[in-house]
Structure 1
Amino acid sequence: MDRLNELLETAGPLLRRVDATIAGAGASPSDEVWTQLRRVRLLPGDAVRAVVALRPADLADAAPELRADARAYAVLAGSLPAPGEWSGIAADAYDRVRVRTATHLSGGHDSLDERLQASADLADDLVTWMRQTREAVAAVLADALGSLEAVVLAGNKVDITEPREMAAAATMAEKVLRTVADAYDRAADLLHTTAALAEPTTRVQ
């Protein structure tokens, strides 16, 4: 259990109070929380739980395995035998296919080993992103627990329709949602820059 999981156990009741206030009473029409709600499309509690569901450890082994496969393709490409003393039309045709196959496997534009290396880099970047996102959300939860807004929303006699409680919930929700939204924007940018990996490779003719 990391810091985020530990903080969620403590912050869970507070997040539920914030969610209930936002869902039940709303916020001032001009409040910044509406901008963040449109970005995330989740209440703060659900947004935090979405981040808690990120499992960087599950992806940590992917990059080394992908790089090992890339090296295997490079070795295979280098092992394809040249015609040697074999000559003639058939030998020339074979050598053309051999060169195309080797280039497809390794070293060429959009070769399999290049794509595997790029996929490994993406896996590393996603692991880093997940860890940083979990840390950022943990930090905002820690701040929330020690805030004046938490004091306002604590206790059993909170009236979520009171302006003071509504303002406190909106302030806390805005901070949590903005942290999550900014993190997911970074993930979207990362995936956009690597979108070519989803495209099929050119077949060897």
Structure 2
Amino acid sequence: MTNPQTTAQPAPAKTRWWRTKKVRLAFTIIGVSLILLAKFSLAEKREVQQATTAAKQEITSYLVGDCVALGADGQDVHRTDCGTDPSFTVGAVLDSDRSCANANYISYDWTLDHHAVGRLCLVENLTAGHCYHPTASGKNLEQTDCAISDDKAYKVVQRFDSAAAQCPADTTTYSYPAPVRAYCLAPTAGSD
């Protein structure tokens, strides 16, 4: 009898866990997901940067001395004729982290998605002999009748567009360094 030689079959090669079809598919899905997420993140970041750049260009298009008006709610600004009463004169165009020269300026923050990107420092552009009352927003003014009793209203007795403002003793001086302007204010006749 012959001794049948059994040929030893090589043991099947063990497939490494990372080479299985399911794991390769999972890695592919994760890789594609990460690439897509990165693309969307970069696209969104680019979009925000473009919007911020456009907003900064828009705010810097305002020049010191330009006349502007605020919307009724004090939330939007637009150019206007300097004869509009009341209106504002741009006193400074600043980065959002800088303050206006003094507290008399109306600080208008230019925002984009609730983040300030710039600031306009506004000077009231008022007419001597007229009376004004602040609106509910506190940033805007409206003309009012000087005979009406109103604790918040005031009358512009004189206006100076120079540094040599000499207001009468019975008035309050309200001044701005740029553009140089001073108002002599008194309570309205009805609030005496």
Report the TM range for the smaller structure's normalisation: 0.3 to 0.5
Kindly name which structure, 1 or 2, has the bigger radius of gyration based on alpha carbons.
2
In terms of fraction of residues, the more strand-rich structure is: 2
